[in-house]
Chains A and B, each alone.
Chain A
Amino acid sequence: MSNSVTERNTHVTMDPAALKADSRRKMTIGEIIAFILLICITITMIFPVVFMVSTALKTSKEMLQFPPTIIPRVFAWENFRTLFANEEIKFGILYKNSIIVAVVSVIGTVFSSALVAYGFTRYRAKGKRILFMLMISTMMLPYPAVMIPQFILFSNLGWVNSFLPLIVPTFLGSAYQIFLLRQFFMSLPNELYDSGRIDGCTEFRLFWKIALPLSGPALATVAIFTFIWTWNDLLGPVLYLSSQEKFTLPVGLAAMMSSKFRIAPYNLLMCASIMTTLPIIAIFASAQKHFTEGIVLTGIK
C-alpha cells in the first residue's frame, strides 16, 4: 500500500518519459543480490504456510508418511467437510463463538479506550499523572498473576461458562490501547476543539464528531490489535468456558492436539488452522493502509 502512495507521487513529480526510462534502467549488482536474498527469505517464511496447506489436503495415512510429500498424491478436499461435519469438533459453533467474542471485544475496547484516552488528553485534574501511571503499570501484570483472583471474582458473579468474563472487561478499557490512543489524541491541535465549542458542541460531541473521525488510523490499529488478541486468546476462554457450545476456536484447536495417547488429526488441524487464519489475513489486508499509518503516526509523537 505504501508503495502505491510513493508511485502516485512519482507520477506527479516525474514526466512519463523519465519514468519509462527509469523502469528500463538495469538493476545494479547490489540490487540483484538483495532481491535474491529477499526471495530466499520469502521462501523460508512461506514454507510453513505451504506445508500447512499441503498437510490440510492429505489423508491421515499420507500425513504420516516419510519422506513427507509436499504435493499430496490424493487431494483430500473432504477434510474440510469432515471438519465442519464432525460432531465432536463442532467447528461451525467454534467459529461463530470466536466471531461474537472478537467483534464485541473490538467494539468494547475501541469505544472505552478512546473515551478514557480522550479524558487523559483533554482534561487537567489533580492526580491525573498518578492515575495514568497507575493505569500504565497494570500493563506490567502478566495474565497468570491476575488469573485466579479474577476467576474467583467472575465465578462469584455467576459469570462462568458465559462470554461475559471475556467481553465485559473489554468495555472497561485496555491500558495498552488507552496509551496508544492518548499519544494520538495529543497530536490533534486544540484549535479544532475550540472551534467546535464555538459552534456549540457539547464535550461528548467534540469527542464523537472531532476526535474520533480524525483518529481513523489509530482506531484501526486498536481494532486490529484487539481483534487479533481476542481471536488468539486461549487461556481466558479455557478458564471461563466449560461447555462445548461456548468454546472458541483456539480452545477447539488446542483440544485437537490434546491427546497424549493418540496421533493428533494433523490434517484436520491444518484445515482448521487455515480457516482460523483467514479472518485475520482478511482484516489485516483490508485495514493495512490505516494500520501502518496508525503505527507510524502514533510512533512519531
Chain B
Amino acid sequence: MTFDRPQAWALLALAVPIVVLHLRFRKRRDAEVPSLSLWRDLVPAGVGRRGFRRVEDASQLACLLAALVAFTAALAGPVTGGSAPQARRLAIVVDASASMNALVPRPAGSPPDAFPSTRFEAARAAALAAVGKLGPKDELVVWEATARPRVVVEPTTDAAAARVAISRLAPTLETCGLRRTLDLVRLSLGRDDAADVVVLTDAVGAHDLAAWGELPPTWRVGAAGAPQARNAGIVAADVDVVGTGRTSGSELRLRARVARTDGGGGRRTLVLRSPTAEVARADVDVPESGSVDAVLPLDSVTAGGPLVLRLEPTDDFPEDDVAVMLLAAPKRLVIALAAPSLVPSPFLVATLRAMPDRVDAERAVLTGPDAPASAFADADVIVAEDRLPPAAPRDRPTLLFGAAGRSGSGPIDRPLVWGTGRHAVLDGVDLAPLRIDRASVLDVGPSDRVLIECAEGPVAVASEGGGVRRLRFGFRPDATTLPLEPAFPLIVRNALRWLARPPLLPPSVRAGGPMATAEPVPAVERLWFVGPGARPPQPVIVRDGALVEVAPFPAPLGPGGLDFEPPATPVGVASTALRVAAASARLLRVRGLPGDPATAVNWFPADGFHLVPDVPRAPDVADVVAALPDRGGTASRRAGWAAACALAGVAALVLGTLAMNTGRQRTTAPTGV
C-alpha cells in the first residue's frame, strides 16, 4: 500500500499534545471541602472503582489515538496495487464535420440499439468512455473539430458535467478543421508534454495530420466508422429540356449526375420511381474521381407528379442517395362546346382541331344550351356561343362568344374596335384588320380586364375570380372577319392557355435558384421547410419565376428548419419559393405541398462535396480509448481505502465518547480548587 499524500502522516505529531492533555485532564484534581466527615463513608466506593477507572482512561486514550491514526491515514490517501498517479490533463478532440454523419455498418445479427448508428455516435461513445477513465483530479477539456473549432468543455475536473456536455454534442455540416483544431489544442496545452490527447475522427481530413508532422506519443488518433468512407451521391437531376421539349406526346428524359465523394468507385444503380410504380433504372459506374451522367426515359410519365430518384444500394451517406422532385406534365384539355341548336361555328371547331397538343379532340363534347350538368363533368374548359348553358358548372374556365350585352343597350353595328394594352390572350394578335358586323357592349366588373373595346364600350373582357378565369367576347366569330384572319387560331390558343393556368412548379431546383411551390400563395396557409444546415433557407415571393420580394424571415424550427407563413395580402399569381445558400444545404425537404404533404425536393449544393484522398487507417476509437490508462479505477480504490479509514476514525471517536460518558456524567470544574 502506498499513499498519495505521505506528508499527511505528520499529523500524527498531534498524538503528543493529545496524550499530554489527556494526562492533564485525567489527573486527580484537588478540591477543598469544609469537612471530610461526610465524605469519609463514600471513599470505599470510589476506591473500589479506581482500577476500573484506569482501564477506562486507557481505553479513552487508545480510542482517541486510534481515531487520530485513522483520520491521518484517510488524509494520506491510501492506494493499493501501485503508486497513486499524479493529476494529468486529457484533451479530447471530437470531429464534428459533416462526414461524421456517415452510417456505421452494423455487424450481422446485432440488435439495432446495440451499436452506434453513425460515426459521430461512435466518437461520442468513445469520448464518454474516456471520461470514465479520468482520475478525481484529472483535468479534461473537449474540443469540437470543425471549420470553426471551439471548446465545448472548458478545462474541468467535473466528470459529470463533462459527460452532460459531450452527450449534447451533435455533428455539423461543416468541413473538418482538424489541423487547425489540433494546432489550437497544442497551443492550449503549452509545454505539458505529459498531457493525453485523444483525437476522435473518421479520418476524413486526416491528411492534415500527415502534413502537421509526427504526433507526440501521448497523442492518440482514433478512427470512427468504417475503415474508409464510402459515399457517392446524386449531385444533379433535371428533366432534359434540350430534347423535344415539354409538350404532350414528346419524349422526356431525366438526366442525372452521380459523383463520388469518399472511398473508391463502384457500380451503382439509379432507380426512378413514381408513387405507384418504377419508372426507369440505369446502372452507373461511379469513377474514382469526377462524376458520371445517366439518362432515364420519362415516356411513361404522362401525368407528372412526384418522382423519386434513388441511388442503390445506399452507402455511408444515405441522404444524398435520393432525389425527390415534382415533374410538371401539362395535360391536354377536354373541351365542352355548347352551341345553339347543336351547330357550332365551323371556324371554331376547325381551330380547336388544329391544336391537338392543347386540346383532346377525341374527348371533346358538343352540347346544346339545355344540356345537363353531367355533360360538363370531364370538361376542363367550356366553350360556348351566345350564352352559357345554365347547367354549366361555374368553377370551370369559360370561353363565351356572342355574350349578351349590358342591359338597356342594343347591339352595335360595325363598331370600330381596338385593343386595350397587353394581355396573354392577345399576345401576338393584330386587331387592325378586324371588322365586326354586330357586337354587344359588355358589363365590366371590378376585377374584369377589358381586352377589346369600341367607342360605346368593351366588347371583350377577361375576368378572374374564385380561382376561375373567364373570357367573354361580345360578338360571334361568324359575325366578324376574325375567322379569316391568322389571328383567330392564335386568340383561341392564347385563350385556352390563359384559361388553363400553367403549372408553376419547375421540375427540379438547384442551389442558389428559387424553388416555387405548386400553388399560389393564397392557397397554402403554411409551409414547412425542413432542411439541414445551420442557416435556414430564405423564403422569397416570386411571380412567374421572377423574384418579387423577400418574405419576412420567420423563426427557425429546429436545426435548419423554419415555419413559413405567406404574406397576409394576396399577391396575385405570386407563389412562395426558397433561396438556399449553396454551401449550407445538401438536401431540402418541403412539407405542406397540396396533395402530398411528404413531398421532398432535392437541393443540390453547387460546389458539390469536398474530395479527399485516402489516408492510412487509424485505430478504432474504441481501441484508442481502451489504451488510455484507467485512472478512474485507481481513484475508486483510493476513495474506498480513504473512506474506510475515515469510518474507522469515526468509530474510534464514538467508542471513546461512550467510554468517557461511562466514567463520569458531570464535567463542571470544582470550586475552590
Genuine A/B complex? no
Interface residues, chain A, CB within 8 Å of chain B?
A: none
Q: Give B contacts to A, CB under 8 Å.
A: none
